[in-house]
Structure 1
């Protein structure tokens, strides 16, 4: 793809008290710029693989400076999070009830321990087995429909009715990484229906140079609109992170593209993603097809593509790879089928976003907080439907194995703190949600995060140690049952490795994993889960003691991607 030289027509300088400029950097005098491109297309000679049906229109390029008071944020003061009782303490209670149980139950009753401990372990194994079967089913559907051309499955009227806004949030990611992600959106079969929003943070190094470079690069790639936003640093009642960045970017895009018509909002789909997202070229078409097939569920459904973390995954350590494979399996088999929560990359109607007051900028996990916030608006449990094409997302990584492990642990800590904190937010807001809806989602969320992820790994360890050293006179049938449960558990993990053989190929990912190395990773899966649970155990107690102060978004290190 060739670079095109177009200069920003205008910039705006303003004073932001929360931003401390580098006096040696002349670019710090410019704070925020939005670049807007009217509808245009590339001639077929430049990109022959792209849409021949797109008409060639004159290119109109306008740069729009955004004054500081133009984009309303509309959020309330952040509480300090030091109340005596916070709902995230339920996670701590569950962990302390479940994990130490094998250590004290044998002293209370050896006979009870003989039967209770394997029964609890059997419950965990059954949950994992159900999740793996559902994941295998969804993976089979994705692979079975791999040759579908979703663009041809829509009528011209249906395609013309739906418009897309894609917002990618960036901070310190390398420019080449951002370009690799946006390239996959520029290669969409329905690229002419995409309003592309690239949102940076004000403290991003060389932010204006990056905006200029990306504008030059993508000014003629077929996007309907191309917008750059720079989210100011130091806005009151916000925490830095994707939530506040996405909130600002979406509000700015709606304002500049004049998308305030409530009726048209039903036919505008918004997709938010990270800077390390590589889309299947049919994603926008498949999303449109699914939305039309579901009869335009404006206020009832959020769409989630299955995420796979095979971006250089074969070159990373066993703990990173195992975590990536299990996260994909959990998404396919739990998060989507049970509508627990979206993750990283998800799509929704603009009407739903407006009704829910966009993204809460005082939290760190936009995927879960949006679901919770919007359930309060709609008064019902939102459904999560799968977009039937895979999307590639970057795993945690590091320059050395030591840095990679620290990054892995840091992100596991962040995910756990975020999940606990948004659960508190949900319980506070649950009075606006019907009781049965609130009860069903909160129980599902607690079972998934509090029991399956945080407790099951540690319980397996404590149960094994108790069986080995504390429980006496175990019947032979109980021993055989334990072996059977372990076999079923390993079979559930095996499904994750089988899925990894087929689905990444749909994204043109070709990995080199020797059989013995793959076998080693498979055998290490239980130990990685235990290590992950230990990090979660630490994170839950950190948020219990320090409260809201630890709820900050630490951007993942993506340099080695």
Structure 2
């Protein structure tokens, strides 16, 4: 109805960009300029591209628990290293042309992950896999918070559970809509979605724990090469985590965010694998909830962020 009241011709809709965001979003002053520049530079790909800024959660992030902070840093790293370059999905704050929104019947906020749901539906109406293009300006999104550390960790677990159930709901939606997409586009997107949400987020921490325990408790006389290989994988994992902390140190300088976290950084870095393991356990529990209860657990309940001012 709002689009019809605007009285915009279909040919002109590609010249109008729409941005979806959350209430707890802090945009830089040059967001619109950067979005417009990128859109014009790519020759106005109105029906093929969605625009995503890298999200950072540095809204009093240094004052929150290590669980919330580590999760925020890893989410930013995964957005930069996986979600955007592999065109998996947008998240929370993204922009698109009005022509794409109208052709895809806009966005349905009733779903838990309406950003991914609309991406799937839009791939169906455009008959192609949509590209996600990065806007070269960072946006701050509010992290999960609570009045006490206990409440904050409870909200963190609630949020992780909600994301997992939402991802399961998205995959169910994708399976239903996949026959409306080109086979190669549906297969390639479904594959990277399973690898990211099923393998990387859910099973990576659990696999690391079980493989380590099996080597210690079950396997006898482990060859030195295997031991060195296991240590090498652990070192590579910690190096990846270190990249997230380096990006955080650089981004606070770029965005002129004041924080005091120098000593706790080492503590948070050491605890990063345990946070990832805890996240994997919450995901495993949430997936079993979906298997047992189905649609009943698919509710759009946002986590509390009452401590953000």
What TM-score comes out, normalization by structure 2 length?
A: 0.98
Instruction: Give yes or no for the alignment of 1:322 onto 2:70.
Output: yes
Secondary structure of 1:303's match? Answer: strand
Partner of 1:263: 11
Measured in 1, the distance between the counterparts of 2:60 and 2:265 equals 15
Partner of 2:306: 559
Secondary structure of 1:266's match? Answer: helix
Pairwise CA distance, 1:477: 1.2
Pairwise CA distance, 1:535: 0.4
Are 2:107 and 2:115, in contact at CA under 8 Å, matched by a contact in 1?
Answer: no
Give 1 or 2 for the bigger CA radius of gyration: 1
Partner of 1:522: 269
Partner of 1:394: 142
Q: Which moved more, 1:497-506 or 1:528-537?
A: 497-506
Instruction: Give yes or no for the alignment of 1:533 onto 2:280.
Output: yes
Pairwise CA distance, 1:360: 2.8
Residue deviations 1:152-175, cap 9 Å, x none?
xxxxxxxxxxxxxxxxxxxxxxxx
Partner of 1:374: 122
Partner of 2:294: 547
Residue deviations 1:55-106, cap 9 Å, x none?
xxxxxxxxxxxxxxxx5xxxxxxxxxxxxxxxxxxxxxxxxxxxxxxxxxxx
- Higher RCO (C-alpha under 8 Å, 6+ residues apart): 2
Are 1:397 and 1:558, in contact at CA under 8 Å, matched by a contact in 2?
Answer: yes
Partner of 2:153: 405
Q: State the aligned residue count.
A: 308
Are 1:392 and 1:507, in contact at CA under 8 Å, matched by a contact in 2?
Answer: no
Measured in 1, the distance between the counterparts of 2:107 and 2:290 equals 22
Partner of 1:435: 183
Measured in 2, the distance between the counterparts of 1:388 and 1:339 equals 16
Are 1:272 and 1:347, in contact at CA under 8 Å, matched by a contact in 2?
Answer: yes
Partner of 1:504: 252
Pairwise CA distance, 1:256: 4.0
Measured in 2, the distance between the counterparts of 1:270 and 1:315 equals 33
Pairwise CA distance, 1:362: 4.2
Are 2:74 and 2:244, in contact at CA under 8 Å, matched by a contact in 1?
Answer: yes
Structure holding more helix per residue: 2
Pairwise CA distance, 1:514: 2.7
Measured in 2, the distance between the counterparts of 1:536 and 1:265 equals 40
Mark the CA change 1:556 to 1:257 in structure 2 (over 3 Å): closer, same or farther. farther
User: Which structure 2 residues correspond to residues 448-487 of structure 1 after superposition, within 5 A?
Assistant: 448-487=196-235
Instruction: Give yes or no for the alignment of 1:348 onto 2:86.
Output: no
Partner of 2:40: 292
Are 1:390 and 1:506, in contact at CA under 8 Å, matched by a contact in 2?
Answer: no
Spell out structure 1 runs of 4+ moving beyond 2 A: 254-259, 504-508
Measured in 1, the distance between the counterparts of 2:228 and 2:212 equals 14
Pairwise CA distance, 1:471: 1.1
What TM-score comes out, normalization by structure 1 length?
A: 0.54
Pairwise CA distance, 1:507: 2.3
Secondary structure of 1:392's match? Answer: strand
Secondary structure of 1:271's match? Answer: strand
Secondary structure of 2:111's match? Answer: coil
Are 1:391 and 1:507, in contact at CA under 8 Å, matched by a contact in 2?
Answer: no
Q: Which moved more, 1:517-526 or 1:544-553?
A: 544-553
